[in-house]
Structure 1
Amino acid sequence: MKFERKPSPLSPRFFWAMIVALVAGLAIAIYVNMKILHRSKSVQTDSTAMQQVKAVPVMRFGLPVDSFRIVSGTIRRNEFFSTILNRYGITPVQILAIRRQTDSIFNPRQIRAGDSYQLFFSPDTSLHIPLYFVYQPDPTHYVVLNLQHPEQSYSGDFPVTSKIQTVSGVIQSSLYETLDDRHASPALAQMMAEIYAWTIDFFSIQPGDWFKVVYRENFVEGRSIGPARILSAEFYHGGEKFFAFYYQDSTGKGNYYDENGKSLRKAFLKAPLKYFRITSRYSLNRFHPIQHVWKAHLGTDYAAPEGTPILATGDGVVIASTYSRFNGNYLKIRHNAEYTTQYLHMSRRAVRVGQYVRQGQVIGYVGHTGLATGPHVCYRFWKNGVEVDPLKQHFPAANPVPASEKQEFSSWVEKQLAVLNQISLPGADSATVTAAASHPAPQG
């Protein structure tokens, strides 16, 4: 006899355990699928973001520079704009068209040896003709010549940022070497020499002399392009301290003054060049090197390399800017009712008749046009209509701070003295430091 076992009914506990297990399994499956889906979307998002980052071009000179092959170069001595382009397959006819259509923003005659340029080519290496010529005449300015469509050429400027810097030093050998040892721009030496030109003889600087300087330094794309302006300075020389403060008056004109508002500059510079060698002085009887006769030479000849900038020795109005057989390219400036100056044998002139020029402004460039044996500038000087020797004149000081602005100037000086007082002198003995800390108060 066979007996059939009837299936026993599920107990309630077992039933609910099965339900819980089923729900938990379903939840785990949903969670895993969601994680996989999220990770997939995240990967897609990251990939898209990376593609977007890669798609953002690197811009410089107004061009996506990462989309070109770029060849960088430096203007060589006696190298011309046309020779550079011709070297890369651009014909003389094309070069002439480029020059004509870009003359408002670019003068190829003004390119100088040492200036940098860049040629932009298609990324296709089979194409060898440049598309753009980029020229930088200085660290802040650039010109972009579109060689295929010259009418689309343009110029631009890099954004410039500034930072106030300080430097000090005790001189052991020279001002230049001291600044170099302090990791400061040697250009500050020339700037100080110009500021103190009528106050300190920099050829007589002695070991132990010291200086403190507050200046503004300019930066382009995070790189220093050098000091822009000295704001204040203190120079100890020959047992005496000399202060210099840059101040702009209400008309916008800026000059350097001492702590009492007296101008540090004279009405005229000592010479029309920064660097020079006197080859012939003012004389009433000189043997002329070309005409071979004894005659008066009522000027002072300053020799310098061709193209050296010539500076206006004083403020004034240009009353002549022309060419003559003997003088070559020359300028004449009337400074006031008493003084007039003239500059001869220029390679080219940089100002026009009627233009007002400031002391130290570039007015032309050294050459040997006219009756000249070599590159130099013949500097002539009139006082009350009579030519005189400029090296023997005692020039008056330039105007002081206007009386109406004396209070504002004094406040500026006090602030700058406080800054100078905070600058320590490296390697100075206690006596020197004590002397450095005692600043005179501006006098009324």
Structure 2
Amino acid sequence: MLINSFLVVLSQILSLIMLKKVLPILIISVILVFAIDSYVGITELTIPKDQSDESTPEAISVEPITEYGIPVDSFYIEEYRVKRNQTLGKILYNLKVKADLGKFLYNLKPEDFDVRKVKAGHKYKIFYTKDSVQAPAYLVYEASPIDFYVFSLKDSLYVYPFQKDVVPVRKVSEAEIKTSLWVDMKENNLNPQLALDLSDIFAWTVDFFSLYKGDRFRVMYEELYVDSLSVGIGTIYAAWFEHHGERFYAFRFEQDSVATYWDENGNSLRKSFLKAPLRFSRISSRFSRRRFHPVLKIYRPHTGVDYAAPAGTPVMALGDGVIVAKGYNKAAGNYIKIKHNGVYTSGYNHFSRFAKGIKKGMRVKQGQVIGYVGSTGYATGPHLDLRIWKNGSPINPLKLKSPPVEPIRKENMNAFKLVVEKYLALMDSTSISHSDSITLIN
């Protein structure tokens, strides 16, 4: 290509020499030759002969959307609720499952799926194939917002468990008591489980049966969520409760590999005796040396405290001890006596029934359920009659002074103080109004 171009230019030069225009044309021709050669060279380097202008786009793989381990895009999904007296067998039978249903139900083991879990009102979903047959392929039963059971209804029946992810969200909440702890929790859109947990933490220091209007609390805790639905309360890190004008603190700290709650000075909130043996009731009759008996219609001493509560409410042992008496008599109905040590004994009357396994001579732990509220014996309605004896003499249960258990040890005190400072800073620096809550960034 270069030689041909040169020959063409050379012929032009010779022609121009004849016309006496040699020098300008010679310069222009040389420049032209190099320009043509450079253009050709660049063109060949930039666009190789074997490169095509057309290109095929790469295929992008899209992950299928799955739920309960099932590719949901492949099925039609219908949601139902278990009807009254409806069993797993009836549900599967109505779906006209082709597999051997009887054999499957006969061989179904409780550890794989307990058929008693199928309860009226619970939700379940059926996954139907997207074809002309629209056959049921899967049944997903919701045992709880977290726990599900997936039944494969294809050629062979089988079941496997599935759990949804639980997301903990750290929060600080505060509320003021206007009616009761339980009611005020619900009215302020707080999870009622928080009321139970707080009553457990402060069970030895706060009398939840005599809360005043204006009592209040603040608590830092984890609330558990599944698909934006609150499913429970996780760890409670710290709290304070203002009761009768006095503020009680609780800080979670681990000692001897056991996490429990302590006050701001490192004293354990756990004491020898609970403030009360049951949750969320009301005191219907107090300790008295002269009380008009509602059944006998006479005045006589009432050396105990009556807690009115719905029949069947669990009753807990006030403290560790040994059951020294269990039985029935005309006045007390079903009763239990627990000897805690060489000084204190507690008594519980009018049970509707005893807790399973409870018997005379057995050792019980503080907070262990020993029976259920009833109205046996001399009782006009369901309640618990609590008695406490000190060295054999009856004392007022509401005035019982309960010694605490071992405090934070000296070698753990510095670590404990750091935890207290951290939690107090988080709670006190969080500006929220009464009956409100905020979410902390973990």
Which band: TM-score by shorter chain?
0.5 to 0.7
Call closer, same or farther: CA 1:115–1:276 in 2, change over 3 Å.
farther
Alignment partner for residue 415 of structure 1, among 410, 416, 422?
422
Hey, what does 2:440 align to over in structure 1? none
Q: Distance in 1 between matches of 2:275 and 2:193?
A: 19
Hey, what does 1:192 align to over in structure 2? 198
Hey, what does 1:216 align to over in structure 2? 222
Call closer, same or farther: CA 1:249–1:140 in 2, change over 3 Å.
farther
How much does 1:216 deviate?
A: 1.9
Alignment partner for residue 52 of structure 2, among 18, 22, 34?
34
The alignment of Structure 1 onto Structure 2 pairs a total of residues equal to 386
Hey, what does 1:310 align to over in structure 2? 314
- 1:69-99 deviations in Å (ceiling 9; x for gaps): 33334455665444544443469x9368436
Alignment of 1:222-233 (within 5 A): 224-233=230-239
How much does 1:396 deviate?
A: 3.0
How much does 1:237 deviate?
A: 3.9
Alignment partner for residue 70 of structure 1, among 77, 81, 86?
77
Alignment of 1:297-336 (within 5 A): 304=310, 310=314, 312-313=316-317, 336=340
How much does 1:310 deviate?
A: 3.5
Q: Distance in 2 between matches of 1:121 and 1:317?
A: 58
Q: Distance in 2 between matches of 1:254 and 1:357?
A: 20
- Would the aligned equivalents of 2:209 and 2:281 in 1 still touch at CA under 8 Å? no
How much does 1:103 deviate?
A: 0.7
Call closer, same or farther: CA 1:279–1:350 in 2, change over 3 Å.
farther
- Would the aligned equivalents of 2:281 and 2:307 in 1 still touch at CA under 8 Å? no
Hey, what does 2:240 align to over in structure 1? 234
Are positions 1:153 and 2:164 aligned together?
no
Alignment of 1:28-427 (within 5 A): 34-37=52-55, 40=56, 42=57, 45=58, 48-49=59-60, 52-53=61-62, 56-75=63-82, 80-89=87-96, 94=101, 97-98=104-105, 100-112=107-119, 114-124=121-131, 126-129=133-136, 131-137=138-144, 139-146=145-152, 152-169=158-175, 184-197=190-203, 198-201=205-208, 204-207=211-214, 209-220=215-226, 224-252=230-258, 254-255=260-261, 257=263, 259-263=265-269, 267-268=273-274, 270-272=276-278, 274=279, 304=310, 310=314, 312-313=316-317, 336=340, 349=356, 359-360=366-367, 394=400, 396-397=402-403, 399-401=405-407, 403=409, 407=413, 408-426=415-433
Letter of the 1:242 partner, please give it.
F
Larger CA Rg, structure 1 vs 2: 2
How much does 1:261 deviate?
A: 0.9
Q: Distance in 1 between matches of 2:103 and 2:395?
A: 48
- Would the aligned equivalents of 2:266 and 2:408 in 1 still touch at CA under 8 Å? no
Q: Distance in 2 between matches of 1:110 and 1:353?
A: 34
What 5-or-longer segments of structure 1 have no aligned partner?
Answer: 1-8, 289-297, 325-329, 429-444
Point out the structure with the larger helix share: 1
Letter of the 1:232 partner, please give it.
A
Q: Distance in 2 between matches of 1:367 and 1:84?
A: 39
Call closer, same or farther: CA 1:276–1:184 in 2, change over 3 Å.
closer
- Would the aligned equivalents of 2:117 and 2:143 in 1 still touch at CA under 8 Å? no
Q: Distance in 1 between matches of 2:383 and 2:180?
A: 29
- What's the RMSD between the two structures over aligned residues? 5.8
- Would the aligned equivalents of 1:318 and 1:352 in 2 still touch at CA under 8 Å? no
Q: Return 102-111 or 217-226, whichever deviates more.
A: 217-226
TM-score, scaled to structure 1:
0.60
TM-score, scaled to structure 2:
0.60
Point out which structure has higher relative CO (alpha carbons under 8 A, 6+ apart): 2
- Would the aligned equivalents of 1:345 and 1:366 in 2 still touch at CA under 8 Å? yes
- Would the aligned equivalents of 1:168 and 1:210 in 2 still touch at CA under 8 Å? yes
- Would the aligned equivalents of 1:169 and 1:211 in 2 still touch at CA under 8 Å? yes
Call closer, same or farther: CA 1:195–1:366 in 2, change over 3 Å.
same
Q: Distance in 2 between matches of 1:353 and 1:410?
A: 44
Q: Distance in 1 between matches of 2:427 and 2:75?
A: 49
Letter of the 1:310 partner, please give it.
P
Call closer, same or farther: CA 1:89–1:161 in 2, change over 3 Å.
same
How much does 1:142 deviate?
A: 3.1
SS of the equivalent of 1:231 reads strand
How much does 1:196 deviate?
A: 3.4
